[in-house]
């Protein structure tokens, strides 16, 4: 049980990666653990149910992580309290969703031409990385404007990955793209959860969407079907306040840093959403 907690804690402590990468860290860590423990760690099914239900509720900002946890919980419950073979269960999930980012990006590239365009990106997304991995086979002429994404600066990591692919990347502060708006042809965002009237993404996404509407710049959102929660009209759960010290460590008296990672963005500000179902 302690080893599974360690894997969950490592994923929980990653405050830089997007949901797709967090899921990969989770499945890889669990598979490695199960292999070392000869298929199934020594833990009761009730203990496992509690661990994954608690982790799902804590990580519910990330729909794909919640989706995976629900899948594990359903498989444990099917076994009537007999612990399933976790290697088999996890491997089936990985296989089903293996090429999901490629399928989302293919749907997008079949509809939107980004050759020789200037594209605004925000924060970090494994789907966006997959998009440009696929696109580099066609052209490197696209110019990228990437926000650094305060407060943990995960946009810089994405900028490095894109630059290594051969793209020219202009890194800017979260609102530092505004002097470049007249040069931007489109903004491409990821999403962590999508509801009927809004979606959830990294703070700064709302400002990008508003300014792009003001300048008639299309905003596209790429996200696989696990992130679509449109049976729910809106998410009434308040966003979590994060560590204040990430914004300003040890500020002067009477200054209180406010640190939210995520925010809601109205659906009406998005030109089009793309998932693997749009292929």
Distance CA 7, CA 25 (A): 9
| Tens-place pLDDT, residues 67-101 | 999 999 999 888 754 556 788 899 999 999 999 99
What's the Cα-to-Cα distance from 15 to each of 7, 206, 224, 230, rounded to whole Å? Answer: 15, 20, 21, 26
| Tens-place pLDDT, residues 97-138 | 999 999 999 999 999 999 999 999 999 999 999 999 999 887
Distance CA 93, CA 27 (A): 9
Q: Which residue out of 174, 192, 224, 235 is catalytically annotated?
A: 192
What's the Cα-to-Cα distance from 120 to each of 44, 70, 81, 254, rounded to whole Å? Answer: 48, 34, 49, 36
* Structure tokens given for 132: 């440009």
Pairing of strands 262-266, 193-194: unpaired
Map out the domains of the chain as residue ranges: 2-96, 100-278
Q: For residue 232, what pLDDT band results from cuts at 50, 70 and 90? A: low
Q: Which letter, b or e, does each residue of 133-171 get, where b requires 16 or more Cβ atoms within 10 Å of its Cβ?
A: eebeeeeeebbbbbbbbbbbbbbbbbbebbeeeebebeb
Tell me if residue 9 is catalytic.
no
Pairing of strands 118-121, 262-266: unpaired
DSSP 5-27: HHHHHHHHT--SS-HHHHHHHHH
Task: For Cα atoms 228, 119, 112, give the angle at the middle one, nearest 5 degrees.
Answer: 60
Radius of gyration of the chain (CA): 20
CATH of 100-278, one of 3.60.110.10, 3.40.50.920, 3.40.440.10, 3.40.50.10470: 3.40.50.10470
Q: Which residue has tokens 């491409």?
A: 188
Indicate the pTM of the whole model: 0.90
| Tens-place pLDDT, residues 143-200 | 999 999 999 999 999 999 999 999 999 999 999 999 999 999 999 999 999 999 999 9
Peptide bond into 49 cis (omega under 30): no
- With a pLDDT cut of 90, the percent of the chain lying above it is 75
Q: Which residue has tokens 């696209």?
A: 142
Instruction: Enumerate residues 6+ apart whose C-beta is below 8 A from 6.
Output: none
């Amino acid at each position: 049980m302690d080893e599974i907690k360690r894997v969950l804690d490592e994923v929980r402590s990653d405050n830089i990666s997007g949901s797709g990468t967090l899921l990969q860290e989770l499945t890889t860590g669990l598979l490695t653990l199960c292999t070392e423990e000869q298929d199934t760690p020594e833990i009761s099914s009730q203990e496992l149910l509690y661990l994954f239900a608690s982790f799902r509720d804590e990580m519910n900002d990330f729909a794909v992580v919640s989706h995976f946890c629900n899948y594990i919980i359903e498989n444990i419950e099917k076994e009537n309290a007999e612990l399933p073979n976790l290697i088999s269960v996890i491997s089936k999930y990985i296989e089903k969703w293996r090429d999901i980012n490629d399928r989302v990006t293919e749907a997008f590239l079949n509809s939107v031409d980004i050759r020789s365009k200037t594209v605004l990106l925000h924060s970090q997304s494994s789907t966006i990385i997959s998009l440009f991995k696929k696109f580099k086979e066609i052209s490197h002429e696209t110019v990228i404007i990437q926000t650094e994404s305060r407060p943990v600066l995960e946009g810089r990591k994405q900028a490095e990955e894109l630059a290594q692919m051969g793209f020219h990347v202009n890194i800017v502060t979260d609102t530092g793209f505004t002097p470049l708006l007249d040069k931007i042809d489109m903004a491409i965002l990821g999403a962590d959860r999508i509801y009927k009237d809004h979606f959830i993404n990294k703070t700064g996404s709302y400002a990008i969407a508003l300014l792009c509407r003001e300048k008639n710049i299309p905003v596209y959102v790429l996200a696989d079907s696990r992130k679509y929660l449109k049976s729910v009209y809106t998410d009434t759960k308040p966003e979590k306040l994060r560590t204040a010290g990430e914004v300003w460590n040890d500020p002067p008296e009477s200054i209180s840093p406010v640190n939210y990672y995520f925010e809601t963005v109205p659906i009406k500000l998005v030109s089009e959403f793309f998932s693997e179902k749009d292929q």
